[in-house]
Structures are given as structure tokens and as C-alpha cells.
Structure 1
Amino acid sequence: MQTPYNTPGALGWHELTSNSCEDAFSFYGAVFGWTFKTMQTSHGPYHIIENEGEKIGGIAPNPCPEQESHWTSYVTVKDVDEVAIKVISLGGELLYGPEDIPEVGRLCWIKDPQGAIIAAITYHKADK
């Protein structure tokens, strides 16, 4: 079955890097009816966004509080390392990774030559 998590080029995961996770829970919970489950990672707490029981994204504390809160989308790819090499060869910038995230997959954050940021990910389990 094709899903955004096993289809190269599909947008599958959306992540908010927030200066106030609690405020984000209140706002997005009221606006969209989302619920949140917190898990601990090696980088600190990570909050899974659920919509009607389906995991659709996450919220993480902003590691750079001087930067505004922002959303990042993740594009599913076959090989994150290949994407990272291609980004650099095309004049983009590798901002983070490639890095393995236990029980999730391998990801990197990239900036295109115009300054827009997006992430690429290869999931360990395509069905999530």
C-alpha cells in the first residue's frame, strides 16, 4: 500500500520547532483537535502530534530560542545520503545530518539556494 511514508517524493511528516511547546499544544489542540504524546529522545523531549489516533507530526523545543518558531516538512526519499550529496552539488546547504533517529529512520535538513528549508527522510519501516 502506498503511503507518504513509503513513496519517494511525498510529504509525510510535519514538525514544529517551538519556543513554547505548551502554547503550541493549547493552540493547535483547540484549532485542529490534535492531541499530543511526549517521548524522551537523546535530544530531549519530543511531542508526537496525533490526529484521530494517527501520528502526523511532531513538536520539538527550539534549540535556538532567538529564532522564531517554525514548521518543517519531511520529504520521503530512498537514500538520505544520496540526497545530501545532491543538495551540495546543486548549490544547497546541508543544515543537519544525515543522522539516524532510532526506531524512525535516517534524515537530514537542507536549505535550497534561495534559503528555504526542508527535510529529507528514509523511514526504517515504510508503514510507520
Structure 2
Amino acid sequence: MNTDPISTEQMLRSLRWRQPPPEFLRHTLAAALAEREKVVQSFSSHRSAKPHNHRLKPLSTLLALIPRPIRWPLAACWLLAFFFRLTTPEAIPQSTLEKYAKLPPVTPAQLLAHLEHAERLAHELLEQLRSPQPPL
């Protein structure tokens, strides 16, 4: 089996696609119109709702506009996005960026001196770990 994407695309383009049967198109149109009618009825019933439901009216109207099969997956996606928004920290907090902007620029000589100091400390710690007597 050839999995080359170019040959697969060429093969798909060379196929002759049949038109969908008219019954399928009629059924799809009827289902879409029935769903639209449900939304319109739901919207009109919410408009004529009693005044004590006034607080829930915008929410239920919004829910009525979302097709029923999509409501739960959409709610799950929104909840997951909200969870990630709350639990994901910022890459670099704004306060840190402001503090970095106030620091003077670092010269290459300072970087090399810091690197040499860190290497010296690392070698001293390694020698202490290798010595038979534990450090005090």
C-alpha cells in the first residue's frame, strides 16, 4: 500500500464522487428545520415566561441557541479551559520582568567571573563528598 500523501491526494481526486441521494438531503433538511423550530419555540416560551424566572432567562435563552448534542461537550471544553487558565502559571510574572528591566546590563566579564566562582564551589563540594570524613 502506497502511503505517499501526493499519490493519495491524486487517487482521491481521480475518484468519481456520487451525489447524495435526494432522500438523504430531504431528511437532513427536515432535521435542521425541526431543530430550528425547537429553538424558536424555546425562545418564544422563554419570552412569555413568568417574571420570577427573569434571572435565568438570558442563560436559558443562550442554552436554547446551542444545539442539544453539542451542549455537554462544549461545557466540558469550557470547564477544561477554565481549569487550565486557573492552574497554569504565567511564564514570567510581570513583576519579575519589571525588576529585570531595572537591573543594569551584565557584562561578559561579570558572567565569566560568576561562572568561574560557580565551578570553584562545585569542585569544593565534590571534594568534600569524596573525602572519607564528612563535612561539618
Please say whether Structure 1 and Structure 2 have the same fold, judged by a TM-score greater than 0.5: no
Rg comparison, structure with higher value: 2
Please give the TM-score of this superposition, normalised by the length of structure 2.
0.19
Q: Which has the higher contact order (CA 8 A, sep 6+)?
A: 1
Please give the TM-score of this superposition, normalised by the length of structure 1.
0.19
